[in-house]
Structures are given as structure tokens and as C-alpha cells.
Amino acid sequence: MANECSICEKELNEVDDLVTTDCDHTFHRQCAQERLDTKNRTDCRACGQDSALGDALARLKIVSEGECSICERLWTLEDDLVTTDCNHTFHYACAQERLNKTNKVDCRSCHQESALGNALAL
């Protein structure tokens, strides 16, 4: 994996929510989505391959908002979010509170074992 996102130029970590293109370049998912939303650019920022970023985001079925199944309120990309390995997204505060109050680390949406705990980097 590359060491940094070529969009924001910040370090990439395995615990980050990442997207990888067919040309094998990796970006923060939020950076990629913002590039698409604000600049309407779907090409790979690293090598310029046409539609690579747009295709990678489409595969992940990226949306700019969704519902946190913990609190049942809508979230947007501007919120502080956590996304599990099983690709479910929650408000970070809701996920942390669920862990603290119930000691449950499975995904609230699909119940994948340890998914929430892993996303919170336990």
C-alpha cells in the first residue's frame, strides 16, 4: 500500500476507511468522494487513469449520507464516522457509546463478530 493519499497527502493507515482503484492506487474514501462531489473528477489522482476513482467508489456504493443503525439518525460525510470491515457506517460517538455501555464489539447492522471493535481500533 502507498504511504499517503495523493489527494490530501496525509498518511494512509490500515484502520482508515480506504478505497483502492483498479490501477492499484489507494486513497482515503472521504477524500475520493469529496474529489468526485466537488470537482466532478473520476480519474485516478495518482496516475490519471480515466474513471478509476469513480469506478472504485461505485463498487463501494458510496453515498453521501446514510442512517446510523445505532441511533437511527442520518449521518453525512461531514460527521465524525467509523466504518467497519463489513462496510457499515456509524457515528463515531454512537459506536464508542455502544462499546462502553454494552461491551458489544460486533457490527450493529450485520452482527459480524468484532467488526465494530476493529473499526474503533481496539
Domain extent listing, the chain: 1-62, 65-119
Question: How far, in Å, CA of 101 to CA of 98, rounded?
Answer: 5
Q: What CATH number should be reported for the domain whose range is 65-119?
A: 3.30.40.10
What is the per-residue pLDDT for 64? 65
Q: Can you point out the beta strands (E) in the chain?
A: 18-20, 26-28, 65-67, 74-76, 81-83, 89-91
pLDDT digits (tens, 9 = 90+) for 11-69: 998 778 888 898 999 999 899 989 988 898 999 999 999 988 888 887 776 566 788 98
CATH fold match for the domains 1-62 and 65-119: yes
pLDDT digits (tens, 9 = 90+) for 102-112: 999 999 988 88
Q: How many other C-beta atoms lie within 10 A of the C-beta of residue 38?
A: 8
Fold classification of 1-62 (topology level): Herpes Virus-1 (3.30.40)
What is the per-residue pLDDT for 104? 92
